[in-house]
């Protein structure tokens, strides 16, 4: 399961999509809209936009790589687009694998590579009214 | 010939805010030539050339890539997903 969606994200469908009797570990991750920016400005919400033609191809490639690198892990990846309020999830990942170590590793790989390689952009809206397009850095 | 230009985030705002622009360009124009024409029409793009990558029909290209009628040229600022 790899998708872009304008609807609120829920983990349960992703977990259901990846789990199987051969997998002893399921790791789930949500990226969530925070109330403060990295430079300590109060945030009121985020807007995400994507170039779906490129984003979906790269998301599928990352999922395939994670599965190949980390013990045939089964991976689901969904990213939200549009306007998000505080506390809403922007990205959801579920990974199932035979053991927990590879499941955690695969999940981290997917979120790190998504931030670096996927054609999605994020605008931060601040409480005082301004807005900025935020670029991912390696440390985030 | 006519190409479709799609731009995102700050670059989209600087070229007028619409998700796509149809541009008439000379036959065999390169991706870089289309960028240069956009900079003439939208001068505030000028400082963003180094950080903006170009893609033709979904694949990254250099400025020297030639475009064909109906191609989609994407202007991609640094990503911010996640």
Cβ contacts of A121 on chain B, cutoff 8 Å: 8-9, 77, 79-81
DSSP per-residue letters across B2-40:
EEEEEE-HHHHHHTTS-SEEEEE--TT-BHHHHHHHHHH
* Closest C-alpha to A65, from A116, A137, A113: A113
Give me the pLDDT at residue A63, please. 98
Chain centre to alpha carbon of residue B3: 10
- Residues of chain A short of pLDDT 50, as ranges, are none
Whole-complex ipTM: 0.94
For chain A, where are the alpha helices, taking DSSP H only? 11-18, 52-69, 100-117
Give me the pLDDT at residue B56, please. 98
Give me the pLDDT at residue A71, please. 86
pTM of the model: 0.95
Contact by Cβ (8 Å): B77, B11: yes
The token duo for A16 is 């259901």
Contacts of A50 (CB under 8 A, 6+ apart): A4, A79, A81, A118, A119, A120, A121, B81
Q: Is A34 helix (H, G, I), strand (E, B) or coil?
A: coil
Residue pLDDT, tens place only, B5-52: 999 999 999 999 998 999 999 999 999 999 999 999 999 999 999 999
Chain centre to alpha carbon of residue A17: 16
Give me the pLDDT at residue A72, please. 87
Q: Is B17 on the interface with A (CB under 8 A)?
A: no
Give me the pLDDT at residue A86, please. 98
How far is the C-alpha of A120 from the C-alpha of A4, rounded, in Å? 10
Give me the pLDDT at residue A139, please. 54
Question: Considering CB atoms only, which of B12, B74, B81 is closest to A122?
Answer: B81
Give me the pLDDT at residue A138, please. 62
Segment B63-73 shows an average pLDDT of 98
Residue pLDDT, tens place only, A94-113: 999 999 999 999 999 999 99
How far is the C-alpha of B4 from the C-alpha of A80, rounded, in Å? 25
Interface of B with A in 21-80 (CB under 8 A): 55, 58, 74, 76-80
In the block, tokens 């600022």 appear at B77
């Amino acid at each position: 399961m790899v998708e872009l969606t304008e609807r609120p994200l829920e983990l349960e469908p992703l977990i259901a999509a990846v789990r199987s009797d051969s997998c002893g570990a399921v790791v789930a991750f949500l990226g969530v809209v925070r109330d403060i920016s990295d430079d300590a400005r109060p945030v009121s919400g985020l807007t995400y936009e994507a170039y779906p033609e490129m984003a979906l191809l790269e998301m599928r490639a990352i999922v395939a790589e994670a599965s190949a690198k980390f013990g045939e892990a089964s991976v689901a990846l969904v990213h939200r687009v549009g306007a998000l309020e505080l506390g809403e999830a922007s990205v959801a990942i579920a990974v199932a694998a035979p053991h927990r170590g590879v499941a955690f590793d695969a999940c981290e790989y997917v979120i790190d590579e998504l931030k670096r390689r996927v054609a999605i952009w994020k605008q931060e809206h601040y409480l005082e009214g301004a807005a900025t397009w935020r670029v991912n850095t390696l440390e985030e | 010939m006519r190409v479709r230009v799609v731009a995102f985030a700050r670059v989209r705002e600087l070229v007028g805010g619409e998700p796509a622009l149809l541009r008439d360009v000379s036959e065999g124009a390169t991706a870089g030539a289309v960028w240069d024409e956009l900079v003439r029409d939208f001068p505030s793009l000028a400082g963003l050339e180094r950080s903006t990558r170009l893609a033709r029909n979904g694949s990254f290209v250099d400025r020297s890539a030639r475009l064909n009628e109906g191609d989609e040229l994407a202007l991609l600022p640094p990503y911010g997903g996640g």
